[in-house]
Amino acid sequence: MNLIPEFDHDLFVSYTRLDDIPIEQRSEGWVESFVRVLQNEVCQRLGDKSFRVWMDPQVDGNRPLTPQILEIARRSAMLLVVMSPGYVNSEWCSRERDAFLSVLGDRVADGCVFVVHEREVERGLIPPPLNDLPGYIFFCRERDSGPDRPLSIADGLRFMSRLYELSAGIKLQAQRLRAPERSAAPLGPCIFVARATEDLADREEELRGYLRQAGLHVLPEKWYPQTDRASFEAAMKEDLGRSKAFAQLLSALRGRDPFDGDVCLPQLQNDLARHAGVPMLAWRDHALELASVRADHRPLVESAQASGIEEFKRAVVELARRAPPPAAPRRSNVMVFVNADTPDRALAEEVARILVQWDVDCYWPLTEGQPEEIRKDLEEGLETCDGMLLVYGATAATWVRRQLMQGRKILSQRTQQPTALAIVQGPPADNKGDLGAAIPNLKTLDCRRGLDQAVLREFADGLR
């Protein structure tokens, strides 16, 4: 008898015989060995030896898909695909997979399909809908540019840590299918774990498994489209909107540039999280020598906490479980004067659109009218505002300095000083001249890489 009611088999394994040819006579092939260890681990996790796995020992890619195999697929609760170049090129595996999904078409969305990458396959060659799934990586390289090879139990913890992650996912799905009424409760808070560089793949899997064991919901659950940057950013922003925190593992490797632009994947993910205003935790190994990191990647690595991985994992869980601070009493009718020179007018309007979502009224200087009327309007804005922002983007440092000195005269005449004064440093990131000024309570908001919602939100909260 199997574990999950209403099914004859708990897990159906789809693979190509080419990946299961033994290296030596009388030894197990990779797939057979892998499935045996996986089944034992899932049974131990469940505390139930009735978990049943089905794999066709006679699969050879030359015979037609039989009604018996189709019925076995239909009567299986979950599907595990062993992805490899041989699997992609196998007509038999293609028919088998399509048959399974045709009778159980909603299994991918329901989390019942698991993809194990035994060897590297280009994402564009993986057939849909399997190419949307992040999958579980069971291959490695001995060096960055070296050939890939399958991991085996002989690789010790390197192999077992990934097996633990896969078995934990299968266990969780089996429990949901076995007792859906008990698993209807929502998962814990969502934590976004950024995709790490290849040298940290084991650490990333370890972190994801640790967070899931802590009852947290780990995102992303799907592989983001990488056909263009806009699609990637849209998919990531959607997940960030559901996330309570963002966790990232960083190393000396800069990572690849997926869109042939000027930003690597670790930096892009970090930027999107900052702009979304999600609480962030980044990690680097305390033994990492910063001098070994490329100059253009070093600022990102330096921003990460240097610690042991266990300490970092506990910190992420603590952040996820931390109760939100009590809401402070909010003032109504808060007004900010956003002062900007002509080259930065569009940037000022974008700043205003962001602040408005937090109930902040924004005004910026007029551009039409008599010079005297424009000057008077500027003075009235400074006399009545609750906060002032000076936008320092494409304009010259001399303009910003002049506005600070002129604003000082007007602000000094007020009986009540503004709650918050700040300079928004916007793009471009370079060529920001020294203002040559030190002014009490004047803050600098670093948005040189793009407007950072977390930074602007902190400014808005300070107004109240």
120 Rama sector, left if φ>0, alpha if ψ -120 to 50, beta otherwise: beta
Pairing of strands 148-150, 139-141: antiparallel
Question: Which architecture characterizes domain 1-185 according to CATH?
Answer: 3-Layer(aba) Sandwich (3.40)
Structure tokens given for 225: 């489209």
> Does the predicted model carry a pTM greater than 0.85?
no
Residues of the chain with CATH 3.40.50.10140: 1-185, 186-324
More confident residue, 296 or 429: 296
More confident residue, 417 or 118: 118
Average pLDDT over residues 319-337: 73
Residues of the chain with CATH 3.40.50.2300: 334-462
Q: Is 134 helix (H, G, I), strand (E, B) or coil?
A: coil
Which of 58-67, 73-82, 409-418 is predicted least confidently?
58-67
| Amino acid identity for residue 307 in this structure | S
With cut-offs at 50, 70 and 90, classify the pLDDT of residue 59: low
Q: How far is 264 from 229, CA to CA, in rounded Å?
A: 12
Average pLDDT over residues 401-408: 83
Residues in the chain: 464
Rg from Cα positions in the chain: 28
Closest CA to 23 of 35, 32, 14: 32
| Amino acid identity for residue 170 in this structure | I
Q: Is the pLDDT of residue 251 over 90?
A: yes
Q: How far is 14 from 56, CA to CA, in rounded Å?
A: 8
Strand partners, 219: 192
Q: How far is 36 from 163, CA to CA, in rounded Å?
A: 12
Which of 52-61, 127-136, 154-163 is predicted least confidently?
52-61
The CATH classification number of 186-324 equals 3.40.50.10140
Mean residue pLDDT of the chain comes to 84
Contacts of 295 (CB under 8 A, 6+ apart): none
The string of DSSP codes covering 93-108 is HHHHHHHHHHHSTTTT
**Secondary structure of 34-60 as H, E, C letters:** HHHHHHHHHHHHHCCCCCCEEECCCCC
Average pLDDT over residues 72-100: 84
The CATH classification number of 334-462 equals 3.40.50.2300
Residue 164: is it exposed, middle or buried by C-beta count within 10 angstroms (0-12/13-18/19+)? middle
Average pLDDT over residues 437-458: 84
Per-residue pLDDT of 202-223, as tens digits, reads 888 889 888 988 888 899 987 7
**Secondary structure of 11-35 as H, E, C letters:** EEEECCHHHHCCCCCCCCCHHHHHH
Give the pLDDT confidence score for residue 388 in this predicted structure: 86
Handedness of CA 165, 166, 171, 177 (dihedral sign): positive
**Dihedral (Cα; 12, 13, 17, 23), 10-degree rounding:** -140
- Provide the greatest CA pair distance for the chain: 95
Structure tokens given for 350: 């974008």
Give the pLDDT confidence score for residue 296 in this predicted structure: 87
